[in-house]
Amino acid sequence: MCVTRVRIDAPHGRGKFLALVAGLAAVLAPAPALAAGDIERGAKVFGACAACHALERGRHLTGPSLAGVWGRKAGAVEGFPRFSAALKSSGIVWDEHSLDTWLASPEKTVPGNFMLFRGIADASARADLVAFLRAASEGKASPARRAAALPDLRQAPPRALVTALRHCGDTYFVTNGEGATLPFWEFNLRFKTDSSAGGPAPGRPILVGQGMQGDRAQVVFAQPEEISDFIRKDCSKS
Ligand code: HEC
């Protein structure tokens, strides 16, 4: 009888043997993180997205609503007019794999897209997020925190209501609903519009901002055409 002895102790042979074991382990191990995401952890990871994405259907912010994203064609959400041509023509359908790839590096996945987000390097955080997105998309989970803390501008207190706005030299003087007037260097005051249902009532612009003490702030109007009507050129009081 002929017995072939295989020497597995030689460095070379052992390397192969270990590689085989490692290979088998990889095959036998439970599917990698992709399938094993944790929805609750994912809800926290979604904090990185919430400034730009809501999960309510039809609620679009900087980015489109992610309600029902699972199984949908990329760039196809109804009522979101700001998709890039790159995303719309990418041919992607959102599933576990495509979301994981996109969230690892949006720019590498779809060059020239409009999502200003570097990506999430940690594969298990991505798996958690993808699991959460699937659940949220199917209406089975909600974000850990309320999506994008946009103020309800119709409920603004009198001190945030702008009753007069005058411009003189390089300064805007903003008078609020309590009768106080705050000066802003013109470069620090931004004008915005919010025509959504949560925006200010017509003719009742709202001052929002960290700085109500003369540093940066913004005045939000209901419609763009209100802006120049509202601002008076007036140096009589300075
Ligand atoms: C700075 C804002 C911003 C952040 C942060 C952001 N996104 Fe986006 N996202 C966008 C914009 C804008 C688009 C549209 C991109 C385009 O059209 O090229 C988009 C598109 C998407 C799409 C494709 C939607 C569709 O219907 O095709 C998905 C999915 C997505 N984002 C998920 C996420 C997730 C998950 C996060 C958090 C990890 C995130 N985004 C963070 C702005 C953002």
Q: pLDDT of 178-219, one tens digit each?
A: 999 988 989 889 999 988 888 899 999 999 875 555 578 899
The domain made up of 33-137 has a fold known as Cytochrome Bc1 Complex; Chain D, domain 2 (1.10.760)
For the CA of 76, the nearest atom of ligand 1: 26
pLDDT of residue 23: 44
pTM reported for the whole predicted model: 0.72
DSSP string, 99-164: HHHHHH-HHHHSTT-S--------HHHHHHHHHHHHHHHTTS---SS-SS----GGG--GGGBEEE
Mutate to test the pocket of ligand 1, among 55, 92, 95, 115 (most ligand atoms within 8 A of CB): 115
Q: CA 238 to CA 235: how far, in whole Å?
A: 5
pLDDT band per the 50, 70, 90 thresholds, residue 36 = confident
- Residue 72: the pLDDT is 96
| pLDDT confidence of residue 225 | 95
pLDDT band of 28, cuts 50, 70, 90:
very low
The predicted model gives 32-45 an average pLDDT of 78
* pLDDT at 126 > cutoff 90: yes
Residue 62 in contact with ligand 1 by CB distance below 6 A? yes
Q: Does residue 87 register a pLDDT over 90?
A: yes
Alpha carbon of residue 230 to chain centroid: 32
* Token duo for residue 207: 């001052």
* Beta carbons within 8 Å of 228's beta carbon, 6+ residues apart: none
pLDDT of 76 higher than 90: yes
CB 205 within 8 A of CB 219: yes
Counting from 1 in the atom list of ligand 1, the atom nearest the Cα of 99 is 29
Tell me which residue has tokens 């489109």: 64
Q: Which whole number is the average pLDDT over 141-166?
A: 75
80 Cβ closer than 6 Å to some ligand 1 atom: no
Q: Work out the burial of residue 127: count CB atoms within 10 Å of its CB; fewer than 13 is exposed, 13-18 middle, 19 or more buried.
A: buried
Using an 8 Å Cβ cutoff, are 61 and 51 in contact?
yes
**147 CB under 6 A from ligand 1?**
no
Whether 34 has a pLDDT exceeding 80, the answer reads no
CA 114–ligand 1 middle distance (angstroms): 8
Q: Would you kindly state where each structural domain of the chain is located, as residue ranges? A: 33-137, 153-233
Residue 87: Cβ within 10 Å count: 20
Going from the Cα of 115 to the center of ligand 1, the distance in angstroms, rounded, reads 5
Q: Does the pLDDT of residue 232 top 90, yes or no?
A: yes
* Per-residue model confidence (pLDDT) at position 144: 59
Ligand 1 pocket test, pick from 46, 117, 128 with the greatest ligand atom count within 8 Å of Cβ, gives 117
Report the separation in Å between the CA atom of 63 and the middle of ligand 1, taken as the mean of its atom positions. Answer: 5
Spatial distance between the Cα atoms of 221 and 33, rounded to a whole number of angstroms: 46
